[in-house]
Amino acid sequence: MPLKIMKLAITATAETVTAPTVSRFFYEVGATVIGEAVLTIDAADFVNDTGGAVTSLPELTANNSYIEVYVNGVLQMEGLLTYTPGATGTGQLVIDVPNGSTIEANSPVVLVVANFAPTTSVDITT
């Protein structure tokens, strides 16, 4: 009998469910912020999707989360943002307003926090 490569006869299927949890928080800027300045928004200053009070900002799941911040409907650069979740108090969002930039009074600030809890199931048939 000639030589041949021996291999396992196995099939496998995998299904991954991402299971996102998305929270949105809303704030209206009280007074014009002219850069170079910092706009600090505490958790208690936000309202949630239903207009209710916010007592803390969610933790970020390591390697499975992100935040987005919109000022007056425009997505902002990550380097301008500092997010502190509620585990260290109630939490806050800090926006660095660079020199030459302005956030007008009454501008909406929207914070989106997305956390994922992925699960994968694998079915192996031999």
Indicate the range of 4-8, 41-45, 57-61 predicted with least confidence: 4-8
91 CB contacts (<8 Å, ≥6 apart)?
42, 43, 56, 57, 83, 84, 85
pTM of the model: 0.84
pLDDT at 53 over 70: yes
Query: What's the confidence (pLDDT) of residue 88?
Result: 57
Reported confidence tier of residue 87, pLDDT bands at 50, 70, 90: low
**Domain spans of the chain?**
31-125
Span 83-111, average pLDDT: 93
